[in-house]
A and B are shown apart, each in its own frame.
Chain A
Amino acid sequence: MKGDRSKAVTLWTFVVAALIMLSAPTLVVLGASFTAGNMITFPPEGLSLKWYAAIAGATDLRDAFLRSLIVASICTAVAIPTGTLAGIALAKYRVRFAAGVQVYLLLPFTVPLIGSGIGLMLIFGRWGVLGQLWPVGVAAAVINLPFMIWAVTASAAALDPDLELAAANCGAPPLSTFLAVTVPAVMPGIITGALLMFILALNEFLVSLLLVDARIVTLPVQIYNSIRSIITPDLAAISVVFIAVAAAAIALLDRLVGLDIFLKSK
């Protein structure tokens, strides 16, 4: 009995510590954004919404946020077809060099982001497309694609292989089978991956930093630039908006496919 009790105490200590560690940054930023003072502090000095009013009126922040949304949309649009096809192929077929492909897909994780960023900067620079938003979206899709592929693969691996044979037996040629049966069946994975890609691209900082110039800064870069001058509570407020968008995406994900699918994905 005593052993059980000390076990419970230890366990709960860890759980509570972990919960605090995980949520502290969010809570601090959230608190700081409601401050009535002019300095970013925690706990806040009084409560007000004035910094939210400030960011609503600040065109540079609003434009940067809009640009981030565009980047995230481009990234998602690129990732959905590529990631879906690659994910289904890896799960379903005995792809030649499958192990090699897996390692190749891991590359974006193993190569430091700064390395990928410089590489992409050189390529896009040579093509002369720097200074536009779409390369930033494409770059975000490239470095985060493994997330999309994994989400789809998890769904496709759970697929009954007879489902496609059944479609063929019903008279469906291969393309109709793919569109009418395979894609709807892996849709939970596609939705999961797509929302994940959207959030990751929205938050993407380091690669954006290398690929944008002063005219097209994305929100994380804009915040970073502001921190280097004066740290004012409007940064906390915009961070909260940021967090809210991510939270909305997660809520949408939970609503559409359930988070358990995401957590179970291999």
Chain B
Amino acid sequence: MTTLMGTDAPFAVSVRGVNMVFDGVHAVRDATFDLEKGRFLTILGPSGSGKTTLLRMIAGFGKPTSGEVFINGLAVGSVPPHRRSIGMVFQKLALFPHMTAAENVAFPLRMRRFDARTIPDRVQRYLDLVKLGKLGDRRIHELSGGQQQRVAIARALVFEPDLLLLDEPLAALDRKLREEMQLEFRRIQRELDVTTINVTHDQREALVVSDEIIVMDHGRIQQKARPEATYRQPSNAFVANFIGVTNFIDGMVTAVDGDTIAFDRPGLAGRPGNGFRPLVGMAARGALRAEQIRIAGGREALGDVDTVFEGAVTDAIFEGERVVYEVTVPDLDGAALRVFDHDPVAHSQHEVGAAVAVGWNARDVLVFGD
């Protein structure tokens, strides 16, 4: 078996130059990353980004067209899925319908030839862990959606795998249950300290549950970073757009002064996004989060900001803890900026059609080249 060279304490998972092409579709392109033991990684991306394909290759369902996956430093390319020590929770759970909850949880133990005398105790311990202690005798269809989720988690963890894979198992749940299960995943993962890779298209879930986030698009890894860094220092415009609510202002670089880039119109400036080396005359794309924009009835009321524009409210949505505005700014070619106002009481609500001023600081504008 091939081992990954140059690592004393091998990573739980290492992916090296993995490509996957099927039916002429290049689903995963040159994916490379490492994951330390005990970490919770989320692969985040829109549908068709290749995130599930990558996860399934790690599980052993589908061989990479090229590249290699290492688990605990060992190449697993020729190891069939049933010989890998990986637990997986499937998108549609894939519980065995003809078995009870306890039989489902016992199945991996039977297949992996655990001592038959220890199986019942172990099954009970994991049913307790997922808070299903008394429901082991139930058939799968007699359990609620949330309870089925818990059975699937117990089945994936009961044999103490080296790695836990979660293939969007929460996508079908309603919001309240989903948020409850996200915290539940986090609790169990911390309790067992099992290395976990989660796949989702839900940016909130990625931010809430993960130690690290990989953002994928069109089969390519766009960024791998901690959640806060992913949010605050997106590596490109795609990541900036995919996580959070982001406004984009397109223009051309007019001046570069240290870390300040002036672009497009007088007064519009920002700092370079990850890796962007601006030159005067280059196309530039400024990314500005909706919550970084202040809104007020007039320029004076905005306080101390670098950039101010005037516009008109074209939409106002009251969301309880915040008001979401859409402000059309004539001086920005009629661009419609989305603005979160988290303090609607202090600012008084602006009606649709009202003239307002919007302002922000240059350090909050990230400028990208693409």
Interface residues of A (CB under 8 A from B): 160, 162-163, 165-174, 176-177, 180-181, 184-185, 187
Give chain A's interface secondary structure class: helix
List, in ascending order, chain B residues with CB within 8 A of A169's CB.
59, 81-82, 86-88, 156
Closest beta carbon of chain B to A160's beta carbon, Å: 6
With A169-B87, A172-B82 already in contact, the answer to whether A162 and B94 are too (CB < 8 A) is yes
Residues of chain B lying within 8 A (CB to CB) of residue A187? 98
Measured between beta carbons, the chain A residues less than 8 angstroms from B92 are 160, 162
Closest residue of A by beta carbon distance from B156: A169
The residues in B between 63 and 110 inclusive whose CB is less than 8 angstroms from any CB of A are: 80-83, 86-88, 90-92, 94-98, 107-108
Min CB distance, A185 to chain B, in Å?
7
Q: Is the CB of A166 within 8 A of B82?
A: no
Q: B271 an interface residue at 8 Å Cβ cutoff?
A: no
Q: A165-B59, A168-B61 are in contact. List 5 more A-B contacts (CB 8 A).
A: A165-B81, A167-B96, A171-B83, A171-B159, A172-B107
Asked whether A185 lies within 8 Å of B107 as measured between CB atoms, the reply is no
Contact assessment for A185 and B98 in the assembled complex, using a CB-CB cutoff below 8 Å: yes
Asked if B1 is at the interface (CB within 8 A of a chain A CB), the reply is: no
Cα separation A167 to B98 with both chains bound (whole Å): 13
Instruction: Please list 21 pairs of residues, one from A and one from B, whose beta carbons are closer than 8 Å in the complex, sorted by A's number.
Output: A160-B92, A160-B94, A162-B90, A162-B94, A165-B61, A165-B94, A166-B96, A167-B111, A168-B60, A168-B81, A169-B81, A170-B107, A170-B159, A172-B111, A173-B111, A181-B96, A184-B96, A185-B96, A185-B97, A185-B98, A187-B98
Q: Is the CB of A184 within 8 A of B111?
A: no
List of A residues within 8 angstroms of B94 by Cβ: 160, 162-163, 165-166
B201 CB–A CB distance under 8 Å: no
Residues 142-165 of B, flagged 1 when their CB comes within 8 A of A and 0 if not, give: 000000000000011001000000
| B91 nearest CB neighbor, chain A only | A162
**Contact B98 A173, beta carbon cutoff 8 Å:** no
Which of B59, B60, B81 counts the most chain A CB atoms within 10 A? B81
Q: Is the CB of B90 within 8 A of A171?
A: no
Structural contact, A171 and B111, CB atoms closer than 8 A = yes
Residues on the B chain within 8 Å of A160, using CB: 92, 94
Interface string of B121-159 (1 = CB under 8 A from A): 000000000000000000000000000000000011001
Q: How many Å lie between the Cα of A185 and that of B159 in the bound state?
A: 24
B111 and A176 contact, CB distance less than 8 A: yes
What is the bound-complex CA distance between A184 and B155, given in angstroms?
A: 19
- Of all chain A residues, which has the CB nearest B96? A181
- B82→A168 contact, CB < 8 A: yes
For B59, list chain A residues within 8 Å (CB): 165, 169
**B187 at the A interface (CB under 8 A):** no
CA distance A174 to B82 in the complex (A): 9
- With a 10 A CB-CB cut-off, give which of A168, A170, A173, A180 has the most chain B CB atoms: A170
Query: Judging by beta carbons under 8 Å apart, are A166 and B88 in contact?
Result: yes
Which residues on B sit within 8 Å (CB–CB) of A163?
Answer: 94, 96
A35 to B119, CA, bound (A): 65
- A184 contact set on B, CB distance < 8 A: 96, 98
B23 shortest CB reach to chain A, Å: 12
Q: Which residues of A contact B98 (CB under 8 A)?
A: 184-185, 187
A180 to B104, CA, bound (A): 11
B90–A165 contact, CB under 8 A? yes
In the complex, whether B277 has a CB less than 8 A from a CB of chain A is no
Docked Cα-Cα span, A253 to B228, in Å, equals 59
A43 to chain B, nearest CB (A): 50
**Distance (whole angstroms) from the CB of A110 to the closest CB of chain B:** 34
How far, in whole Å, are A191 and B107 apart by their CA atoms in the complex? 25
A171 vs B155: C-alpha distance when bound (angstroms): 11
Point out the residues of chain B lying under 8 angstroms from A166, CB to CB.
88, 90, 94-96
